[in-house]
Amino acid sequence: MSAATLIAREEWRLLARNRAGLLATALLVLLVLVASFTSLERRSAIEADRERYQASTDHDFDAQPDRHPHRMVHYGQFVFRPVAPLAFFDAGVDSFTGNTIFLEGHRQNSANFAEARQSSLLLRFGQLTPAFVLQTLAPLLLIFLGFASVAREKERSTLRLMLAQGISGKSLLFGKFLGQGVLALLIGLPAFTVLVVFAATGSTGWGTVALMIAAYSAWLLLWAFLSVLVSALAQKPRDALAVLIGLWMVIVILLPRALPQAASAQTELATKIESEIALHRDLLEIGDSHDPEDPYFNDFRDKVLAQYGVDTVEDLPVDYTGLVSIEGEKLTTAIHADSAQRQAALETEQNAFVHRFSVLSPLIAIRQLSMALAGSDPTAHLDFLDQAEAFRYDFVQQLNRMQADLLPEVEGDDPRISAENWKEIPRFSYQSSDRLDRSDRLVWPFAVLLGWLAVIAVAAPFAARRIGRMGQ
């Protein structure tokens, strides 16, 4: 057996005999499991709720009586965002984004009822998910297990004893890395098991789970190795502890909170009111369908008349108002898409600013990876908004088309078309995109985590030389 494995085994034996260390480890494992199960249960409760709501509003839509199609345009549809299967593992921004949108004609409503707006400030302390435990608490446990690993030997002069017996600084350090690294992976094991079981039940893809495990392994190893490295460079265990706690505070608590403030100060988002007013103004610039003298809509009318080969609107075989609605919807949607894109670009810019600093605070990298893989990141939310908007456009235009085509056949001053038509209108079904499709998003955060590991690897020989010199 090599010296390094012997030293690693000593680390494990020490932990096995250290009651406080075992207790803390057991508590963390327990916390991961509790978080997994409560979060899983919570996810399925939310998901069941949303499915129920979606089914009931879909049913309500079908159950509407004979009506003028434009009334159905404003009756609209409610869509609910399904919770991604892995969101139980990392809730990401799910609690901060609205999960239901009311879709109607020529209005783009906001996604409402975000959990964070309906919770007390307690939510801001963090949400109990396995990701929270692994991202925030596990590094602290690894610090406590590793801060004394080398510094302890220095303080008790056992280091000199080892060096005198011919163990090199390098193999000592390697042994400590090995010992603490294996512990780090063991600490991750319960969470990884949950993920594997989840994948085995077919709830999510193996590729996603494998990447998730790889990401968290890198994150945990990072902290284990960092602890050993600092311990090797510090004079006393206490100094190592102070430095490591300080690093943890900056990396895990401080920077992730402070950077978003800087980002939001740099790039300002317009309020919803401003966007609405701008939208309205842009729209009026193109044309006002209510204004009989409006050049844009006069052109449009002439084009329609020419197309049908008639002289007046009254002679048209279709409902002209329906055609105007179709045209109007096209315009508003394009303008809205433009403004939504601008807004999304601003948000992306803000996030990119924060992401750049993941070099300093790898927590941002692991958070980004974890959310993206879990399907609870802002991209997934934007994807939902995009799909909802596309769906909105389609069903509204379909209703407008019904108005144009079917209304002329209906007599009377209260024209209604048959309720049977509502059943032809599609229902929303969210197509969750494959997380691995847009894997370019995953490259940078992975690179950051591996970069940190690489830096530690580069610093290790230097630390090993320093340890080696202590014996002389």
Residues of span 356-415 touching other proteins by CB under 8 A: 377-378, 381, 413-414
Least CB distance to other proteins at residue 407 (A) = 15
- Both structure tokens of 280: 């309205």
418 near other proteins, judged by CB under 8 A: no
- Both structure tokens of 456: 């530690």
Q: Which of 87, 111, 199, 467 binds other proteins (CB under 8 A)?
A: 111
CA pair distance 324, 301, nearest whole angstrom: 9
Residue count of the chain:
472
Assign 416 to helix, strand or coil. Answer: coil
Nearer to other proteins, 164 or 273 (CB): 273
3-state helix, strand, coil in the chain (%, to 5): 75, 5, 20
Nearer to other proteins, 170 or 342 (CB): 342
CA pair distance 87, 283, nearest whole angstrom: 39
Q: Which amino acid is at 319?
A: D
127 near other proteins, judged by CB under 8 A: yes
- The owner of tokens 């009756």 is 75
CA pair distance 321, 318, nearest whole angstrom: 9
With CA atoms as reference, report the closest residue to 90 among 443, 352, 363, 436: 363
17 near other proteins, judged by CB under 8 A: no
Q: Which amino acid is at 45?
A: A
Nearer to other proteins, 123 or 410 (CB): 123
For 287-361, where are the alpha helices, taking DSSP H only?
A: 295-308, 320-356
- Both structure tokens of 249: 């505070």
- Both structure tokens of 111: 């996604």
Q: Which stretch binds other proteins (CB under 8 A): 39-47, 308-316, 322-330, 383-391?
A: 39-47
274 near other proteins, judged by CB under 8 A: yes
- Both structure tokens of 332: 């508003």
CA pair distance 472, 466, nearest whole angstrom: 11
Nearer to other proteins, 93 or 304 (CB): 93
With CA atoms as reference, report the closest residue to 176 among 155, 156, 151, 158: 151
119 near other proteins, judged by CB under 8 A: yes
With CA atoms as reference, report the closest residue to 137 among 41, 52, 31: 31
226 near other proteins, judged by CB under 8 A: no
254 near other proteins, judged by CB under 8 A: yes
Q: Which stretch binds other proteins (CB under 8 A): 158-166, 183-191, 235-243, 302-310?
A: 235-243
30 near other proteins, judged by CB under 8 A: no
**Number of residues in contact with other proteins under rule CB under 8 A:** 91
306 near other proteins, judged by CB under 8 A: no
| CA distances (Å), origin 202, targets 199, 282, 400 | 5, 48, 41
Residue 439: CA atoms inside 13 Å, Cβ hemisphere, count? 8
Q: Which of 3, 12, 96, 427 binds other proteins (CB under 8 A)?
A: 96
71 near other proteins, judged by CB under 8 A: yes
62 near other proteins, judged by CB under 8 A: no
245 near other proteins, judged by CB under 8 A: yes
Nearer to other proteins, 113 or 462 (CB): 113
Q: Is 428 in contact with 391 (CB distance < 8 Å)?
A: yes
Nearer to other proteins, 174 or 248 (CB): 248
φ/ψ bin of 113: left (φ > 0), alpha (ψ from -120 to 50), beta (otherwise): left
431 near other proteins, judged by CB under 8 A: no
Q: Which stretch binds other proteins (CB under 8 A): 216-224, 250-258, 401-409, 435-443?
A: 250-258
Nearer to other proteins, 339 or 387 (CB): 339
249 near other proteins, judged by CB under 8 A: yes
CB atoms within 10 A of CB 216: 27
Q: Which of 120, 165, 431, 472 binds other proteins (CB under 8 A)?
A: 120
- Both structure tokens of 30: 């327990």
Nearer to other proteins, 372 or 464 (CB): 372
User: Please, which of residues 186-225 interact with other proteins by CB under 8 A?
Assistant: none
Q: Which of 12, 102, 308, 357 binds other proteins (CB under 8 A)?
A: 102
109 near other proteins, judged by CB under 8 A: yes
Q: Which of 110, 157, 235, 439 binds other proteins (CB under 8 A)?
A: 110
444 near other proteins, judged by CB under 8 A: no
271 near other proteins, judged by CB under 8 A: yes
Q: Which stretch binds other proteins (CB under 8 A): 8-16, 117-125, 160-168, 321-329?
A: 117-125
Nearer to other proteins, 26 or 457 (CB): 26
Q: Which of 60, 285, 302, 338 binds other proteins (CB under 8 A)?
A: 60
Q: Which of 14, 15, 33, 140 binds other proteins (CB under 8 A)?
A: 140
64 near other proteins, judged by CB under 8 A: yes
Rounded to 5 degrees, φ, ψ at 84 are: -60, 145
- The owner of tokens 């988002």 is 269
Beta-bridge mates of residue 112: 100
Q: Long-range contact list for 279-286, CB < 8 A, 24+ apart?
A: 279/332, 279/335, 279/336, 279/339, 282/335, 283/331, 283/332, 283/335, 286/331, 286/335
Radius of gyration for the alpha carbons in the chain, expressed in angstroms and rounded = 30
Q: Which of 2, 203, 235, 264 binds other proteins (CB under 8 A)?
A: 264
